[in-house]
Structure 1
Amino acid sequence: MTDEQRIARAVAVANSNIATKICVAAEQRTGRPRLIPLSGVLAAYIFHASDQPHSMTTSGVCRTVRKLKPGKRAALGIPKRMQVKYKRMHSGWLAIRRVVEHGVLVDHDHDLDVDLDTGEVFSCPEGCPFEQVSLDQLATLLIQASLPPEFERPTVVAIDGTDVESVARAHDKKINSDGRSFYSYDRDARWGHRTATSRRPTEHFFGYEAHLGTYAPKVGSDPVPQLAAGLTLRPGNRDRTRACLGMVDALPEFDELLLDRGYTTAKGNKLAGPLRDRGITLTMDLHKTQRGVRPGPDAGTVWVDGSLYSSALPETHRDLEPPTLGMTAAEKARRREAFDAREPYRFVPHAKREPNRGTQRFRGPAVDGHPFKVRCPNTPASIRMPHTIPTTTCTPGEPCGCGKTLTVPDSLLERDRQHHPWQSTRWALSFNRRSLVEGLIGINRYQRLSVNRGFFRQTGLVATALLMAVTLIGHNLVSLHAWHTTRGRPEPWQVHLGDPVDDRPLDKATRTRGRGRH
């Protein structure tokens, strides 16, 4: 993008609804007015992030802005003849940060009344403009502001976490003057654990875990750009489920969520239940503790890997080995054929879920009046079906689940249930879209940027979350432009801002011939 394009997009995000509320709340009501408006400060940070910064620091933002001509600085929101000094820029950033720490965009217009007996604060009178926002909502809303209304947001979201190391080191336990223990200058950072990659072994880190969300297309539909949809930040590896739900509540409405085992091993009432109550379908991987065979809710039924089957399911189909990472695509397909062979014996939803009762109806594979999936001796009508469908080994007269219709409570094995059977071909096509969020993490950590230790040099949960949000805003602005331009499509920000069509020829990436070894 040209400087003019980057400036126009940075100013548009800085003047969005949520950004305007933050700047208005941070503006001082007394004293001298700021020489650089807060909207200009925020636009300068976003403009710096839309480049390829080596670090997201105030000094780096000042260097980037000083390279601009006075006219472009004025377009960014900085007066033409104003010197861009570190103190002026950093003072504006701290004012924005204080609003986020306080968590209030609009304060009460009245005195608060408290019940002296219980300590409870009475509710506000009608018309009170009080508006509060959490850090999770704020970070996600800022990132959503980097996507213009012309961009059609998909209804599938994938979420994953990555470590964000603090610039401050952890040290031995000491006692300060107040007698309290501390481990680092960064008081919000905590120890966390990260798994091994091709770059490093499994180890501990000191800092935060950033939970990133990205949009994914429907199965079989056209691809979408790899964009950041939301962000939540937590110290160490703590509070993953609430971080996930915090992002879900802040995002625009969607209907499907893709998660890995780092989230789904939580108790059912912590994640699976709240997602179901929000009307969100979950596609997830299963931990080894979530797999296996368990007794079903009624005689003749059995739970296998989180799905409900008739007890007629052959023993050879119950304990199956999933594909591994080192296998080829053909070997994985052969393994999944064995999981697909379970499908004729599976119970399927019979009607919509009843939210008032908290139940769901399921019908067996040989329920009369529906297409038979198996031939069961206990259901005579199914025996008249052709031999192309499986025939069960059920004994006539003995209980089996093939012809049953069950009412299953939502709380029964709710942690492990999902709409596609685990490791089936349909499940794999759906779950494999989760790799998009891993690609988003890789782009910002190793490819386009290096969001590792030292990229952020401010300490604290709020400061790190704000800088991370601005970094992802810059990624979205660049990725939207690049994805649509390379495909010859109108870019959403160009349509929203009314920019002229960019008809410059695209650069060609060529590989230079390396020097031979001597």
Structure 2
Amino acid sequence: MTRRQRNTTPIAPHLSTDATPANPMTDEQRIARAVAVANSEIAGQLCAAAERRTGRPRLIPLAGVLGAYIFHATGEPHTMTTSGVCRSMKRLKPRQRAALGIPKTMQIKYKRMHSGWRAIMRLVASGVLVDHDHDLDVDADTGEVLPCPVGCPFEPIDLDQVATLLIQASLPPEFERPPAVAIDGTDVESFARAHEPHLDTEGRKVYSFDRDARWGHRTGTNRRPTEHFFGYEAHIATYAPKAGGSPVPQVAAGLALRPGVRDRTAACLNIVDAVPTFAEILLDRGYTLAKGTRLARPLRDRDITLTMDLHKTQRVVRPGPSAGMVWVDGTLYSSALPEPLRTLEPPEPGMTAGEKARRREAFDAREPYRFVAHGKRNTKRGTQRFRGPAVDGHPFKVRCNNTPASMRMPHTIPTTICVQGEPCGCGATVTVADRELERDRQHHPWQSTRWALSFNRRSLVEGIIGANRFQNLNVNRGFFRMTGLVATGMLLAVTLIGHNLVRLHAWHTVRGRPEPWQVHLGEPIDDRPLDKATRTRGRRKRNGD
């Protein structure tokens, strides 16, 4: 019996064309980018405020500590720990460490590096970037702190704000920020295990050594079933191009961390306030099921357009603001909308592209009966005017008996079944208050083709989460070895900074475009020949298999 010889030819890993690292950054490029982020405005303020004013100066400056952590993150590490940072520093030459801000003759020790990192975390945990220059006064009757006098330099900070601003510092000014942002959450398990709760000395329930972590719920995937986890939920934002526009690199734009699964709307709004100006936000039902006063109204007040999915409880038919009008799936229509078009089944995930397109044709058939915005929103009164599909003086979308001018239009335009003289909204103009059905309204009709082109961009944020959790990195339990909300949030922010620096270089290099950091730092053109990327070769089936 002959023995089949085993094929020992190594099989190349599976690499997508967008995730191909092309030519990895050199140590000099990683150092230059880490130093640029560590010397940014927000990082400089953090390091200056965290530096001790008395005692001996630190052997390793805080800017050098922060730069070392960022440098370690650009190497796509197995773990984001202080010991890993020390190993990365020991591999560098003395002159390279000096470029990061670490003295040449300084010996890299865990205690020195960890002490600097803890100093930065203590500042963020205190919530104060610049302290008061006066004593605080309290109202004896109410117990409230009196306002500061004019000229007080007090400046508070927040973990969400610090994390987002640091991530924004990893995107140079030469990077043109797209006009849309997508936000989604993912679980980050705590390194500490949960146990039976007990009361501490202050009477609070303690579940684990990680006192900030809480229980949360995560939905099932192909990798794991639906289950509970103990830790945090990271809300990550990424940029999305215009609907139908050219692709952009998948980079992180902001971060907010919360214990367990809670306070999602506040986390979303904190990211919105810290990210530079943008026009549109893409959210799933994990955020938009909140009350309109908690999310939809604050986003409208910030002049941000919302594109979202609707829950089954939101997909109902409601009476409109006036006779002859109806709300269908959060959009205002004339009551002439045919009954078969009022309750439609949306496309399902397992359908083919053709089946989804056919279902969306039914949603697109609602368009002629839709009310459209008439002029700008009145910010003082908090109202928006809408005109019907057969308003005289505008392009007619339907032919209605109550609007004689529309009946002279070609028969290619849909003809309503409205009875002349009876209430009809086709030719009406109505003023709708912003607070009316504010949670469910959006600028594109739900499940229409235009809505799908816009909302499908939200998958970009799922791509960046998958790249950091399973593809390029393993941001799961054990990736962070520190406990606490601030420590986990800051380490995750540094991890996303490293992702941004690596992704910007790889994305532009593969496409032969000038990298934004290369232009910003004035680096010479990287003319190295691109590495050849190969895909995984399929295994041949044996006879009879």
TM-score (normalised: structure 1):
0.98
Alignment match, 2:325: 301
Secondary structure at the aligned position of 2:375 is classed as coil
CA offset digits 1:403-446 (Å, max 9, x no partner): 10000011110000000000000000000000100001000000
C-alpha distance in 2, partners of 1:313/1:416?
19
CA offset digits 1:47-88 (Å, max 9, x no partner): 000011011100010011101111111111111111110000
C-alpha distance in 2, partners of 1:88/1:367?
73
Alignment of 1:312-461 (within 5 A): 312-461=336-485
Flag the 1:298–1:329 CA change in 2: closer, same or farther, 3 A: same
Identity, % of aligned pairs?
79
CA offset digits 1:212-257 (Å, max 9, x no partner): 0000001122111100000000111100001100100111011100
C-alpha distance in 1, partners of 2:541/2:442?
55
C-alpha distance in 2, partners of 1:122/1:172?
42
C-alpha distance in 2, partners of 1:61/1:166?
20
Alignment match, 2:95: 71
C-alpha distance in 1, partners of 2:38/2:324?
61
C-alpha distance in 2, partners of 1:348/1:513?
53
Alignment match, 1:186: 210
Runs of 4+ in 1 over 6 A off after TM superposition: 514-518
Secondary structure at the aligned position of 1:234 is classed as strand
C-alpha distance in 2, partners of 1:515/1:378?
69
C-alpha distance in 2, partners of 1:236/1:20?
31
Secondary structure at the aligned position of 1:242 is classed as helix
Offset, 1:484: 0.8
Offset, 1:133: 1.3
C-alpha distance in 1, partners of 2:429/2:202?
66
C-alpha distance in 1, partners of 2:462/2:202?
43
Work out whether 1:247 is the aligned partner of 2:271. Answer: yes
Q: Which amino acid aligns with 1:191?
A: W
Alignment match, 2:132: 108
C-alpha distance in 2, partners of 1:483/1:178?
52
CA offset digits 1:146-178 (Å, max 9, x no partner): 001111111100000000000111111234455
Alignment match, 1:506: 530
| 5+ residue gaps, structure 2 | 1-24
Alignment of 1:10-25 (within 5 A): 10-25=34-49
Flag the 1:513–1:339 CA change in 2: closer, same or farther, 3 A: closer
Q: Which amino acid aligns with 1:197?
A: T
Q: Which amino acid aligns with 1:319?
A: T
Q: Which amino acid aligns with 1:76?
A: L
TM-score (normalised: structure 2):
0.93
Secondary structure at the aligned position of 1:289 is classed as coil
Flag the 1:298–1:471 CA change in 2: closer, same or farther, 3 A: same
Secondary structure at the aligned position of 2:313 is classed as helix
CA offset digits 1:12-53 (Å, max 9, x no partner): 000000000000011011111100000000000000000110
Alignment length (residue pairs): 518
Alignment match, 2:251: 227
Counterpart selection for 1:86 from 79, 100, 110: 110
Counterpart selection for 2:143 from 106, 111, 119: 119
Offset, 1:517: 8.2
CA offset digits 1:380-409 (Å, max 9, x no partner): 110000000000001111101101000001
Q: Which amino acid aligns with 2:257?
A: L
Q: Which amino acid aligns with 2:430?
A: L
Flag the 1:512–1:347 CA change in 2: closer, same or farther, 3 A: closer
Offset, 1:515: 7.5
Offset, 1:513: 5.4
Alignment match, 2:14: none
Offset, 1:196: 1.1
C-alpha distance in 1, partners of 2:236/2:207?
27
Q: Which amino acid aligns with 2:147?
A: S
Work out whether 1:29 is the aligned partner of 2:53. Answer: yes
Offset, 1:114: 2.5
Offset, 1:271: 0.4
Quote the RMSD (CA, aligned, Å).
1.3
Alignment of 1:4-15 (within 5 A): 4-15=28-39
Higher relative contact order (CA 8 A, sep 6+): 2
Secondary structure at the aligned position of 2:281 is classed as strand
Q: Which amino acid aligns with 1:147?
A: L
